[in-house]
Amino acid sequence: MCQVFISADPQLWAHRARSVRLHGVATSIRLENLFWQVLEDIAARDGYSVPQLCTRLYDELLAERGAVDNFASFLRVCCTRYLALQLSGEIPQDAGIPIRSLALAARAGGSPSLRH
């Protein structure tokens, strides 16, 4: 069982920090390379750069929850959730379909699980 996991390229779990501006304040976010790759995929779907996506997610989380306690962990969960929703078919594999269009469909009565 473990061979499936340990045979992964070590570069995937190597981490790196990226500087992102959140409301004019430069902050450093440290994630594993695999998560940066997934964030790049998510950002590209909506025509964002990764820093723009991070700012948007930060703002929406702040508006919804009133605070942001562990943003790096939140980003990891976003990536994992994105991949899981792709596997379940709730997010189309077609990267040409923007995520924002799926959120609009959910608000209009589409797939309710996208709102969780």
Which residues, listed in sequence order, are joined to residue 72 by a DSSP beta bridge? none
**DSSP characters over 73-112:** HHHHHHHHHHHHHHHHTSS-S-TTS-HHHHHHHHHTTS-G
**At the topology level of CATH, where does 2-93 sit?**
Ribbon-helix-helix fold (1.10.3990)
pLDDT tens per residue across span 1-29: 788 888 888 788 888 999 998 878 899 99
Closest by alpha carbon to 83, among 34, 17, 46?
A: 34
What would the two tokens of residue 110 be? 């589409």
Asked if residue 75 lies in contact with residue 83, where contact means CB atoms within 8 angstroms, the answer is: no
pLDDT tens per residue across span 89-103: 999 999 999 988 886
Domain ranges of the chain: 2-93
Q: Decide: pTM greater than 0.75.
A: yes
